[in-house]
């Protein structure tokens, strides 16, 4: 095995001068995707070829980034000892009823053919199917992740990544008599590990507790029946100001419209605009109004425990106990959290008025202790407390894709491309290919009977395939091939019988 | 770091005698899944908790086997340089119309809410969405795989693995002016590589060509309009005999019922019961009746080319050119193939009368040169010839699962379990855990505030977790932990500061 400088000057082998010339040509050609993958114009179609509204195809480049994303997320889940499960894409409609509040109207139903006695709906999230799985199989403890598509007939906003079919990626811990806030803290920890591993920028984890919010509402004199409405208004604080002049839209204004008195709204406002850490917890526990409320005190004491874990795990710099966090879903009963990306300078420059700057929230979740119990319809023992976090795959994907240079994304694992400059070499190419396949070396050759060597070489360069095998009749006679480094454009002479061994060394497979 | 024989005889550390006693107890206990995962009886439910008819949940053990299956399949696809894509679970109904013959009635439709102008259907296979993707994006060449769920409102047969929601796993090569039968041969080769890598038994790859079948029908005097009916009857030859006494159901009888003359049926019968290799191809090419038929001759000549590749790749022992293979789908235009598992002795013993012995076909496919063109409604240039193979994941899963000892299936990646025999050690457990997580070592601890050491040790054994970390106050004071091999039940003393380094060495992470 030696570096070939000028072998095979003529004859019917691969002519080195010719190869050099091709190499020169290659240098003068701007890299392009080559013939493969180049779209041609199609004739007019009778059928309308398009995706269902709000859905998209994922091409090879998108899938390559998406798989990297899923692999990194899964690696963290596995480090935490999680199992995975899968549930069907449709559920009996009854299972999904009364779980999503107003958003229930966004659920897709399956058409019920004549004679069928089942009403089916496409899953709206992975949490309710998970609770159904736990309840139905009478599971007492499980720590599982689930990455799968969910369906919402929402108004799509394709450029912002809001689709009708999209991936969710959930991690949940279910079980009774667990140490308070320990699983909850683990969910927050997992969020930091995942986002850090993706290296997509700075973020803040907002923490709050439904019990604290309820306590605030009660302590401020909000009637019980308006708790949920007040909560929904608080949830808007990431988009709207607390108060605004001249009757412009504001959260305070919204609360009053929902029926709260001005006095009550103002009291609530003094709380829900606060954020901090352990100091704020202590201050609120000592607050004469809030400190007397049982629900708030419970929530605050557990928040303090949660923060202790996060302090011990050294992630307090990423965390904010934020009383404005409310979260929309009905089923939360305790701690809630949301991970918000800090907008980049680019995000701030290009932000449109009235929309979130940057991608906003990339993960969120909380504790839902009553959901499994509500499904089995029982109390006490048949209930299974749960806490979990759901990652917004589409937004994480957007951030990960943005980091990448499009031309560097590899959509195949191909390490070797087999080529010949001569005609009628397909059977020889197929034979070499087979040796590589049998050895588990990802390899391809052109499907054309007589491909042009220049095209093949170009294709290797544009596709970032590291190695080429080049041969002609002469090489066959001599029992060798030329092994070409696509990057350096240098070839070396390799005995055909050593080829697999040498490639395995080079590729470390 | 040394093997601990009898350290810490007393005090408030971990008592070695106690550990030894626990180890003895462990030995006397039959391995069980432990408290975790043990089902309890649930109270009566108001809601009916069940899956939609014909669908199932995949629990952690099923998913572990399934992921192994997918990983092995994907590894082969990647070795062949394939990309992957994804398409939405529903398509515009028009796209699926007229693709599946009689089976179209099995398609699930999505309910059309008021105001919607789209009719949607759940995908029935991955081939038509692939053809839509190719046509819509005006792709000229692609080699892609796609593993995803498809939906058929068929009569479910759960114990035989026939579900209404099931995975398909497709590999297809699309492109024009490719060397005849080279991509087709690669599909067959991929089937052998995948099934061999799963190590699930012997199999036969049946090969035929639609053009040969059409040629036989024409040469035997079957009227053009009965070709498809005759083809459907031939397709039953794997379940029915060619002829049977006393008007019992047979393929010959079926053909006559469909309108073929007895003479024509008998002529066809002489062909479609044949199988062989290159010899049979030669014999048929020389056949005075068939050899004169253009369609048959084309098919036979290309079959010979296909067999040459398979000979060169040394897989002819697994292949049979079988004239009884017809395949149901409408869109095939050339070579067709089906991979049939050889029934095991167990299969033969337990076979029910009238059903396929063993799992039968585990993969099938063929060439469909007109499908993309039919979608774009044009001819010539806008068409993209395709060939592909689809693997029956549920059947492969059944065979792979059957090979496994249920207790050996690991559903988590957990390598280390952190334990203490003493109370109030959660924060210390959490701190050790965090060091392991940060180092990427899959680790867990009990979520209970004060778990029993015996339960934790038992859980490690039943879950095949290789390493335990055990400590008490004494160990904390001394700055050490006990690293326990769960299999050998031996402990060694390890400095807390060396723990991550030592575990990384042991686990090679």
pLDDT in tens, B158-207: 887 889 999 999 999 999 999 999 999 999 999 999 999 999 999 999 99
B112 touches chain A (CB under 8 A): yes
Distance from CA of A202 to the nearest CA of B (A): 19
Distance between CA atoms of residues B388 and B181, nearest Å: 12
| Residue A210 backbone class (left: φ over 0; alpha: ψ -120 to 50; beta: rest) | alpha
Residue A386: both structure tokens together: 């749960």
> Is the Cβ pair A136, B50 closer than 8 Å?
yes
What is the three-class DSSP state of A3? Answer: strand
What is the three-class DSSP state of A390? Answer: strand
pLDDT in tens, B2-55: 434 333 334 455 667 777 777 777 766 644 333 344 444 444 446 889 999 999
For residue A357, name the pLDDT band (cuts at 50, 70, 90): low
Q: Which residues of B touch A80 (CB under 8 A)?
A: 437, 442, 444
What average pLDDT does this structure show over B241-263? 90
Residue A492: both structure tokens together: 């070396």
Q: Are residues B272 and B159 in the same domain?
A: yes
Inter-CA distances, B292 with A331, B269, B334, B385, Å: 74, 19, 18, 26
Give the angle B255-B256-B258 at the CA atoms, nearest 5°.
65
Residue pointed to by tokens 């095949």: B464
Distance between CA atoms of residues B197 and B200, nearest Å: 8
**Testing the interface with B: which of A182, A372, A381, A417 to mutate, by most B Cβ within 10 A?**
A182
**B65 vs B508, residue with greater confidence:** B65
Distance between CA atoms of residues A217 and A271, nearest Å: 10
Instruction: Tell me if B47 sits within 8 A of A95, measured CB to CB.
Output: yes
Residue B26 phi/psi, 5° resolution? -55, -40
For residue B71, name the pLDDT band (cuts at 50, 70, 90): very high
- Any idea which of A3-12, B139-148, B323-332 has the lowest mean pLDDT? A3-12
B193 touches chain A (CB under 8 A): yes
B404 closest CA partner among B69, B95, B127, B139? B69
Chain A residue with Cα closest to B426:
A179
ipTM: 0.87
Helix-, strand-, coil-residue percentages of chain A, each rounded to 5: 45, 20, 40
Picking from B344, B379, B403, the residue at the C-terminal end of a domain is B403
Q: Which residues of B touch A37 (CB under 8 A)?
A: 139-142
> Is the Cβ pair A52, B88 closer than 8 Å?
yes
**Testing the interface with B: which of A447, A448, A466, A500 to mutate, by most B Cβ within 10 A?**
A447
What is the three-class DSSP state of B493? Answer: strand
Q: Which residues of A touch B79 (CB under 8 A)?
A: 413, 437, 440-443
Q: Are residues A234 and A150 in the same domain?
A: yes
Instruction: Tell me if B150 sits within 8 A of B91, measured CB to CB.
Output: no
pLDDT over 70 (residue A269) = yes
B2 touches chain A (CB under 8 A): no
A27 touches chain B (CB under 8 A): no
pLDDT in tens, A440-488: 999 999 999 999 999 999 999 999 999 999 999 999 999 999 999 999 9
Alpha helices in A370-452 (DSSP H): 371-376, 393-403, 426-438
> Is the Cβ pair B86, A57 closer than 8 Å?
yes
Residue A51 lies in a domain: no
pLDDT given at position A435 = 97
**Average model confidence (pLDDT) for chain B?**
89
Q: Are residues B177 and B304 in the same domain?
A: yes
List strand residue ranges (DSSP E) for B175-234, in order.
203-209
B89 touches chain A (CB under 8 A): yes
Distance between CA atoms of residues A235 and A247, nearest Å: 20
Instruction: Tell me if B307 sits within 8 A of B316, measured CB to CB.
Output: yes
Which DSSP state fits A111? Answer: P
CATH number, residue B424: 3.40.50.800
Distance from CA of B243 to the nearest CA of A (A): 38
Residue B200: both structure tokens together: 């699930």
> Is the Cβ pair B60, A83 closer than 8 Å?
yes
Distance from CA of A419 to the nearest CA of B (A): 14
Residue A487 lies in a domain: yes
pLDDT given at position B389 = 97
Q: Are residues A115 and A23 in the same domain?
A: no
Query: Across the strands, what pairs with A169?
Result: A147, A391
A136 closest CA partner among A90, A199, A87, A173? A87
pLDDT given at position B31 = 43
A233 closest CA partner among A220, A214, A250, A212? A250
**Residues 49-68, chain B: which have Cβ within 8 Å of A?**
49-53, 55-60, 63-64, 66-67
What average pLDDT does this structure show over A164-176? 96
pLDDT given at position A263 = 95
Q: Which residues of A touch B118 (CB under 8 A)?
A: 52-53
pLDDT in tens, A394-416: 999 999 999 898 888 999 999 99
**Around Cβ B294, how many Cβ atoms within 10 Å?**
10
Residue B361 lies in a domain: yes
Q: Are residues B311 and B216 in the same domain?
A: yes
Residue A53 lies in a domain: no
Of A49, A90, A441, the CB nearest to B135: A49
Distance from CA of A279 to the nearest CA of B (A): 21
Question: Burial of A202 by CB count in 10 Å (0-12 exposed, 13-18 middle, 19+ buried)?
Answer: exposed
Domain coverage including residue B69: 60-403
CATH number, residue A150: 3.30.930.10
Q: Which string of DSSP letters, residue by residue, matches A81-142?
A: T-EE-B--SEEEHHHHTTSSGGGGGGPPBBP--TT----EEE-S-SHHHHHHHHHHTT-S-E
pLDDT in tens, B200-222: 999 999 999 999 999 999 999 99
**Residues 252-281, chain B: which have Cβ within 8 Å of A?**
none
pLDDT over 90 (residue B314) = yes
Distance from CA of A36 to the nearest CA of B (A): 6
Instruction: Tell me if B93 sits within 8 A of B76, measured CB to CB.
Output: no
Distance from CA of B156 to the nearest CA of A (A): 14
A33 touches chain B (CB under 8 A): no
Instruction: Tell me if A109 sits within 8 A of A93, measured CB to CB.
Output: yes
> Is the Cβ pair A59, B85 closer than 8 Å?
yes
Sign (positive or negative) of CA dihedral B244, B246, B250, B256:
positive
pLDDT given at position A282 = 97
Q: Are residues A214 and A76 in the same domain?
A: yes
Please give the tally of structural domains in chain A: 2
> Is the Cβ pair A95, B47 closer than 8 Å?
yes
Q: Are residues A352 and A301 in the same domain?
A: yes
A303 closest CA partner among A331, A267, A332, A277? A277
Inter-CA distances, B44 with A186, B158, B285, B362, Å: 33, 26, 70, 41
Picking from B403, B421, B445, the residue at the C-terminal end of a domain is B403
pLDDT given at position B13 = 59
pLDDT given at position B12 = 52
Q: Which string of DSSP letters, residue by residue, matches A236-262?
A: GGGTS-S--STT---HHHHHHHHT--H
Residue A22: both structure tokens together: 């091709």
pLDDT given at position A116 = 86
Residue B55 lies in a domain: no
Inter-CA distances, B387 with A23, B80, B178, B304, B392, Å: 34, 15, 11, 17, 17
> Is the Cβ pair B138, A42 closer than 8 Å?
yes
A493 touches chain B (CB under 8 A): no
CA atoms within a 13 Å half-sphere pointing along the CA-CB vector of B477: 8
A455 touches chain B (CB under 8 A): no
Cα A215–chain centre separation: 35
Chain B residue with Cα closest to A434:
B313
Query: Across the strands, what pairs with B483?
Result: B469, B492
**Testing the interface with A: which of B412, B427, B443, B451 to mutate, by most A Cβ within 10 A?**
B412
Q: Which residues of B touch A175 (CB under 8 A)?
A: 447
What average pLDDT does this structure show over A489-503? 96
Residues in chain B, overall count: 509
Of A120, A122, A427, the CB nearest to B312: A427
Share of chain B above pLDDT 90, in %: 74
Distance between CA atoms of residues B155 and A451, nearest Å: 49
**CB contact set of A3 (below 8 Å; sequence gap of 6+):** A490, A491, A492
Q: Are residues B435 and B374 in the same domain?
A: no
- Any idea which of A86-100, A138-152, B474-488 has the lowest mean pLDDT? A86-100
Of A42, A132, A379, the CB nearest to B382: A42
Distance from CA of B416 to the nearest CA of A (A): 9
Instruction: Tell me if B486 sits within 8 A of B31, measured CB to CB.
Output: no
Q: Are residues A448 and A347 in the same domain?
A: no
What average pLDDT does this structure show over A338-363? 79
B264 closest CA partner among B216, B323, B212, B220? B220
Distance between CA atoms of residues A188 and A170, nearest Å: 13
Instruction: Tell me if A112 sits within 8 A of A119, measured CB to CB.
Output: yes
Distance from CA of A444 to the nearest CA of B (A): 6
Q: Which H, E and C letters describe A292-313, residue by residue?
A: HCHHHHHHHHHHHHHHHHHHHC
Residue B343 lies in a domain: yes
Residue B151: both structure tokens together: 């939906």
**Residues 403-432, chain B: which have Cβ within 8 Å of A?**
411-414, 426-427, 430-431
Distance between CA atoms of residues A362 and A398, nearest Å: 10
Give the angle B473-B479-B481 at the CA atoms, nearest 5°.
70
Q: Are residues A166 and A133 in the same domain?
A: yes
Query: Across the strands, what pairs with A417?
Result: A444, A468
What average pLDDT does this structure show over B369-380? 81
Residue pointed to by tokens 């059944």: B398
A440 touches chain B (CB under 8 A): yes
Of B40, B80, B153, the CB nearest to A140: B40
Residue pointed to by tokens 């001569």: A422
Helix-, strand-, coil-residue percentages of chain B, each rounded to 5: 45, 20, 40
pLDDT given at position B330 = 76
Q: Are residues A298 and A202 in the same domain?
A: yes
Chain B residue with Cα closest to A128:
B49
Instruction: Tell me if B164 sits within 8 A of B154, measured CB to CB.
Output: yes
> Is the Cβ pair B177, A448 closer than 8 Å?
yes
pLDDT given at position B418 = 98
Residue A43 lies in a domain: no
Picking from B403, B422, B452, the residue at the C-terminal end of a domain is B403
Residue pointed to by tokens 């199989």: A137
Of A41, A183, A431, the CB nearest to B138: A41
Q: Which residues of B touch A111 (CB under 8 A)?
A: 108-112
Share of chain A above pLDDT 70, in %: 91
Residue B40 lies in a domain: no
Sign (positive or negative) of CA dihedral A301, A307, A312, A313:
positive
**CB contact set of B393 (below 8 Å; sequence gap of 6+):** B66, B69, B70, B147, B166, B167, B168, B169
Instruction: Tell me if A140 sits within 8 A of A123, measured CB to CB.
Output: no
Which DSSP state fits B124? Answer: S
Q: Are residues A219 and A328 in the same domain?
A: yes
**Around Cβ B374, how many Cβ atoms within 10 Å?**
18
For residue A353, name the pLDDT band (cuts at 50, 70, 90): low
Cα A443–chain centre separation: 30
pLDDT over 90 (residue A11) = no
Q: Which residues of A touch B378 (CB under 8 A)?
A: 42-45
Residue A365 phi/psi, 5° resolution? 175, -160
pLDDT over 50 (residue A194) = yes
What angle do the packed helices A182-198 and A393-403 form, to 10 degrees? 30
């Amino acid at each position: 095995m030696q570096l070939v400088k000028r072998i095979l000057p003529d004859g019917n082998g691969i002519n080195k001068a010719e190869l050099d010339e091709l190499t020169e040509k290659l240098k003068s050609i701007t890299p392009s995707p080559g013939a493969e993958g180049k779209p041609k114009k199609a004739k007019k179609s009778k059928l309308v070829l398009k995706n269902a509204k709000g859905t998209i195809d994922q091409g090879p480049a998108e899938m390559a980034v998406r798989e990297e994303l899923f692999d990194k997320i899964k690696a963290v889940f596995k480090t935490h000892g999680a199992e995975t499960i899968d549930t069907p894409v449709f559920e009996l409609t009854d299972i999904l009823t009364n779980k999503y509040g107003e958003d229930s109207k966004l659920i897709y139903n399956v058409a019920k053919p004549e004679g069928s006695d089942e009403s089916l709906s496409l899953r709206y999230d992975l949490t309710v199917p998970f609770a159904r799985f736990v309840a139905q199989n009478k599971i007492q403890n499980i720590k599982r992740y689930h990455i799968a598509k969910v369906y919402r007939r929402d108004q799509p906003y394709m450029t912002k990544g809001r689709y009708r079919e999209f991936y969710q990626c959930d991690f949940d811990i279910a079980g009774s008599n667990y140490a308070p806030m320990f699983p909850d803290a683990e969910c927050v920890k997992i969020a930091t590990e995942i986002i850090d591993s993706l290296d997509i920028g700075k973020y803040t984890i907002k923490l709050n507790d439904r019990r604290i919010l309820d306590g605030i509402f009660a302590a401020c004199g909000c009637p019980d029946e308006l708790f949920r409405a007040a909560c929904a208004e608080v949830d808007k604080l990431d988009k709207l100001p607390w108060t605004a002049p001249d009757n412009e839209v504001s959260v305070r204004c919204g609360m009053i419209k929902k029926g709260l008195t001005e006095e009550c709204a103002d009291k609530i406002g003094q709380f829900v605009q606060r954020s901090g850490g352990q100091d704020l917890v202590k201050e609120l526990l000592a607050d004469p109004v809030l400190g007397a409320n049982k629900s708030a005190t419970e929530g605050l004491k557990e928040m303090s425990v949660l923060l202790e874990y996060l302090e011990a795990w050294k992630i307090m710099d990423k965390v904010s106990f934020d009383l404005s966090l409310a979260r929309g879903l009905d089923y939360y009963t305790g701690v809630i959290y949301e991970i918000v990306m800090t907008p980049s300078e680019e995000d701030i420059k290009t932000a449109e008025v009235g929309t979130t700057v940057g991608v906003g929230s990339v993960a969120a979740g909380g504790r839902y202790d009553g959901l499994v119990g509500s499904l089995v319809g029982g109390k006490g023992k048949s209930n299974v407390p749960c806490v979990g976090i759901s990652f917004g795959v589409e937004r994480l994907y957007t951030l990960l894709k943005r980091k990448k240079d499009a031309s560097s994304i590899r959509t195949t694992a191909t390490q070797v491309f087999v080529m010949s400059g001569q005609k009628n070499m397909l059977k020889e190419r197929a034979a070499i290919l087979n040796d590589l396949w049998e050895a588990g070396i990802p390899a391809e050759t052109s499907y054309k009977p007589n491909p042009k060597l220049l095209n093949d070489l170009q294709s290797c360069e544009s596709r970032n395939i590291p190695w080429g095998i080049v041969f002609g009749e002469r090489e066959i006679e001599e029992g060798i091939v030329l092994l070409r480094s696509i990057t350096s454009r240098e070839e070396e002479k390799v005995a055909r019988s050593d080829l697999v061994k040498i490639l395995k060394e080079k590729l470390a497979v």
